[in-house]
Structure 1
């Protein structure tokens, strides 16, 4: 049951929190229905500091979504040291490099990550699944088969 809660918290915090800061002060540019979840995720330390001035209702980029995944791993003390160099020509971001090296994300090609593109639903689903697996939440990954009917057709993240 605890693993299902962790996976649920991961999904909620990463999908709903596409732009909030590190204090309990929630940006005014958010949907009211998401406020409680945003504050909870923020208080739990799950959101990167640089999200403070972002529009919470806007789409999220691939790199920002990766920063959310990295923050979750960091908060759970699953990152001891990050000296990984990026293999992507379009970003040298250390967090993206760590996630790629850990098998959590892939680029659009061997050398292109497309950091500023909006993330697609399938890319988000793959990153959430791979992050959960990295965290050791393996048996609950089968839940995604029932949530996403097209799970078997996911191409990359």
Structure 2
């Protein structure tokens, strides 16, 4: 039971860090495009409640925050289980490479599977190459890389003789 609690705390901590890095990058990038943080979180909420999220004020913003962090925690848990539960130790031996590749995988799954299956309303214009490149790089450097590096560190600390 203690191991499960430690795993949960590790996933929670790393997921919150990665989720915060990701949303911070998203807010800064979109500020230059004239999109407010409010609108970003409403867009995230629209994945669950469709276009109505843009009329729901604070409720949809709060829902968007919850969904964003739930997704970040899910991606963290998947990497954690792959690296420790399925013993894909290469993920922790090569955290920079595995983290960057994981970010690309997250982008592909989110954009080609999750978003099309969600209730996100159709967008009037396709994203430019600049917007797509930013999305890939953000997931590589704000989700994949921090998850891999922080998990490697957490596993090293756990195995340290001082903590045995």
TM norm structure 1: 0.27
More helix by share: 2
TM-score normalised by structure 2 residue count = 0.26
| Structure with greater Cα Rg | 2
